[in-house]
């Protein structure tokens, strides 16, 4: 599906949602539309909404990977400290 046809589909869903007084059909809710607006604002040079969303996903994925790497490093440091403390504790218990 091309970006222009996706955009037309989104616009059509929004029109149907406005015309639907009984709430049987619903397009994007307000929360989703606000989130999309924020993404558009973050990436003003993106040629369309899909490109902005993809850039956002890539950046969020990169941030997540960086956070995971940071946590992994902290866990390794903590494991090393625990290992050192276990050795010291073993030596103290043997001395008694």
Digit-coded pLDDT (tens) for 52-79:
888 998 989 888 988 899 999 999 999 9
Cα separation of 75 and 77, whole Å?
5
Structural domain total, the chain: 1
The pLDDT tens digits for 39-58 are 888 888 988 888 888 899 89
62 is in which domain, residue-wise? 3-95
What predicted TM-score, i.e. pTM, was given to this entire model? 0.49
Show the tokens assigned to 59.
């950046």
């Amino acid at each position: 599906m091309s970006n222009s046809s996706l955009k037309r589909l989104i616009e059509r869903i929004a029109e149907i949602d406005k015309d639907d007084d009984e709430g049987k059909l619903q397009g994007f809710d307000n929360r989703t539309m606000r989130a999309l607006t924020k993404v558009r604002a973050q990436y003003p040079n993106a040629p369309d909404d899909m490109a902005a969303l993809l850039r956002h996903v890539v950046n969020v994925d990169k941030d997540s990977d960086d956070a995971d790497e940071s946590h992994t490093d902290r866990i390794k440091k903590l494991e090393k400290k625990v290992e050192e403390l276990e050795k010291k504790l073993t030596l103290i218990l043997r001395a008694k």
